[in-house]
Amino acid sequence: MPDFERHYRALELPKILTLLAEQASCKDTYGLALEIKPSSDYNTVNAELDKANDAYMLLQRFGAPTLSGVANPKGMLRRAGAGAVLSMGELLSIAEVLRCIRSLTEWKKRCEGISTTLDFLFESLVPNKKLEEKIFTSILSEDEMDDNASPELAELRRKIKGAGMRVREQLEGMVRSQTYQKYLQEAIVTIRDGRFVLPVRVEYRNEVKGLVHDTSSSGATLFIEPMAVVEANNEIRVLQTKEKAEIERILAQLSAECAEYADATCGSYDCLIDIDLYFSKARLADRMRATRPNLSANGVIELKKARHPLIDREKVIPTDIRLGQQFDALVVTGPNTGGKTVTLKTIGLFTLMAMCGLLLPCAEGSTIGLYEKVLADIGDEQSIEQSLSTFSSHMTNIIAILQAADEHTLVLLDELGAGTDPVEGAALAISILDHLRWAKCRVAATTHYAELKVYALETQRVENACCEFDVETLRPTYKLLIGVPGRSNAFAISQRLGLDGSIIDRARAMVSSENTRFEDVVSGLEQTRQQLEKEKELAQRQRWDAETANAEIQNHKKKLELEKEKELERARREARNIVERVRYEAQQLIDELTELKKQKDNEAFTRMAAEAKAQFNSKVSKLQATADPVITKKDENYVLPRALKVGDTVLLMDVDQEGTVVRLPDKDGMVAVEAGILKTKTPLANLKLVEGKRKRTEQPDARRNVRSTVQMQAKTEVDLRGMNLEEALMELDRFIDECVLLHLEVISIIHGKGTGVLRKGVQAHLKTHPNIESYRLGVYGEGESGVTIATLK
Which residues, including other chains, have CB under 8 Å from residue 488's CB and lie 6 or more apart? 334, 335, 448
| Nearest residue to 650 (alpha-carbon basis) of 612, 616, 684 | 684
Crossing angle, helix 13-22 and helix 27-34, to 10 degrees? 170
> Beta strands 442-447 and 329-333: pairing type?
parallel
Binding site: what residues are annotated? Answer: 334-341
Half-sphere exposure (Cβ direction) of 132: Cα atoms closer than 13 Å: 14
Binding site for ATP: what residues are annotated? Answer: 334-341
Please tell me whether residue 330 adopts helix, strand or coil conformation: strand
Question: How many of the other CB atoms lie within 10 Å of CB of 473?
Answer: 9
CA 303 to chain centre: 26
CA–CA separation, 372 vs 406, rounded Å?
9
Please tell me whether residue 380 adopts helix, strand or coil conformation: coil
CA–CA separation, 688 vs 635, rounded Å?
9
What backbone torsions phi and psi does residue 180 show, to the nearest 5 degrees? -95, -20
Q: Which amino acid is at 3?
A: D
* Cβ proximity of 163 and 239 under 8 Å: yes
Question: How many of the other CB atoms lie within 10 Å of CB of 71?
Answer: 17
* Cβ proximity of 58 and 49 under 8 Å: no
What backbone torsions phi and psi does residue 162 show, to the nearest 5 degrees? -65, -45
Q: What angle do CA 763, 765, 768 make, to 5 degrees?
A: 110
CA–CA separation, 19 vs 29, rounded Å?
13
Crossing angle, helix 42-62 and helix 262-288, to 10 degrees? 80
Q: Which amino acid is at 20?
A: L
